[in-house]
């Protein structure tokens, strides 16, 4: 078995990199949006109960918004020929 130093000095001796896994990004992003939404609802209930949650609500809203942008990006790059 080659040493780490010999692999760093001679990268051609390494095994080939396996192909990337095929993942449906839309499902992953939707799951993230659902999680952020559930936490947002829980924080809203806490806010109604008088707990200070202003910063956390902002983080959840940002998570949902970024997830929406991620969905738009995934839709635009869905049929990328490099995949």
Domain definitions of the chain by residue range: 23-76
The CA-CA-CA angle for residues 2, 20, 24, to 5°, reads: 155
Q: Cα(82)–Cα(66) distance, rounded to whole angstroms?
A: 24
pTM: 0.70
Per-residue pLDDT of the chain (83 residues; tens, 9 = 90+): 778 888 788 877 777 888 988 888 999 999 999 999 999 999 999 989 998 888 999 999 999 999 999 999 998 887 655 54
């Amino acid at each position: 078995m080659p040493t780490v130093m010999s692999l760093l000095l001679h990268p051609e001796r390494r095994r080939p990199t396996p192909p990337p896994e095929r993942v449906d990004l839309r499902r992953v992003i939707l799951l993230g949006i659902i999680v952020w939404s559930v936490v947002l609802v829980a924080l809203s209930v806490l806010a109604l109960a008088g707990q200070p949650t202003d910063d956390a609500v902002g983080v959840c809203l940002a998570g949902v918004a970024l997830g929406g942008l991620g969905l738009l990006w995934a839709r635009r790059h869905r049929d990328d020929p490099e995949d």
